[in-house]
Amino acid sequence: MMIIMARAATTSDVFNAIAEPRRREILALLRTGERPVTELSQELGMSQPGASKHLRVLREVGLVRDRKAGKQRLYDIDARGLQAVHEWTGGFEQFWNESFDRLDAYVQELKQERHEE
């Protein structure tokens, strides 16, 4: 018998919210500016209620904001919500820079050896 555990609510944490691929797609689409849910759902090939559900999660964790414009609601990225993600990923910057520096030194060493042959 298999017991299925409910997932933790994705609305409480930015990292859980962006773990969902469709939400990352929504954020990528919103990089170009605000868009209505109808347009987002079409671009994603999903129902409007499905897109709205993802947008609600993103709004609740502070990654998107919305505003009413006539009969539609426009969504846009709220960059302040991405601060935690930026800070966490930025911690790996030194690691990658050092790795690329070592790779560059190795390539230069190989070039020097070839030149000396």
CATH number of the domain enclosing 110: 1.10.10.10
Structure tokens of 97? 């820079």
Number of domains the chain contains: 1
**What is the predicted pLDDT for the residue at 11?**
56
Question: What's the pTM value of the predicted model, to 2 decimals?
Answer: 0.71
Q: How far is Cα 96 from Cα 109, in angstroms, rounded to an integer? A: 20
Q: Where in the sequence is the domain holding 24, given as residue range(s)?
A: 10-116
In a domain, 2, yes or no: no
Q: Quickly state the pLDDT bin for 5 (edges 50, 70, 90).
A: very low
Average pLDDT, integer, range 46-66: 95
In a domain, 5, yes or no: no
Q: Which residue has the higher pLDDT, 22 or 101?
A: 22
- Measuring CA to CA, which residue among 97, 35, 28 is closest to residue 65? 35
Single-letter amino acid code for the residue at 103: L
Q: Quickly state the pLDDT bin for 7 (edges 50, 70, 90).
A: very low
Q: Which residue has the higher pLDDT, 114 or 74?
A: 74
Average pLDDT, integer, range 77-98: 86
CA distances 32 to 5, 28, 49, 89, 112, Å, are 37, 8, 22, 22, 45
Q: Is residue 63 exposed (0-12), middle (13-18) or buried (19+ Cβ within 10 Å)?
A: buried
